[in-house]
Amino acid sequence: QVQLVESGGGMVQPGGSLRLSCAASGFTFSSYVMSWYRQAPGKERELVAGITSAGGSTNYADSVKGRFTISRDNAKNTVYLQMNSLKPEDTAVYYCNAKRERGWSRNYWGQGTQVTVSS
């Protein structure tokens, strides 16, 4: 059974920090590009950050560069998103995504975790 389970969301004040985790199981985690997406009410889902299968390359949306850091621990089958200097516009449901890097196309999604940044 393929599972992506996000955790670590919650409510924080502007300027605060959160660390999201996504625990993966049921597939070969080390063969997948991992990404974080987010979706705010009334908005389309957008890519926040991505990391290659071995962790050698990362990319970020311009809106989070310098504030968010994506990382992965293949031994733990877990990808993280460290979010610092949070802003109200970061409020969204954050989703973990796994995409197979090569071979047969496969794409998995978690259920999401709510992040709310508010005073």
pLDDT digits (tens, 9 = 90+) for 78-98: 999 999 999 999 999 999 999
- 21-49: average pLDDT: 97
pLDDT range class, residue 63, cuts 50, 70, 90: very high
How many Cβ atoms sit within 10 Å of the Cβ of residue 101? 13
User: Collapsing DSSP states into helix, strand and coil, what is residue 61?
Assistant: coil
pLDDT score of 103:
81
Contact 16, 9 (CB under 8 A): no
DSSP category for residue 30: G
Angle (nearest 5°) at CA 91 between 59 and 11: 115
Which helix (H) or strand (E) segment holds residue 22: the answer is: strand 18-25
The percent of residues in the chain predicted with pLDDT above 90, rounded, is 93
User: 47-51, 75-79, 83-87, 101-105 — which is least confidently predicted?
Assistant: 101-105
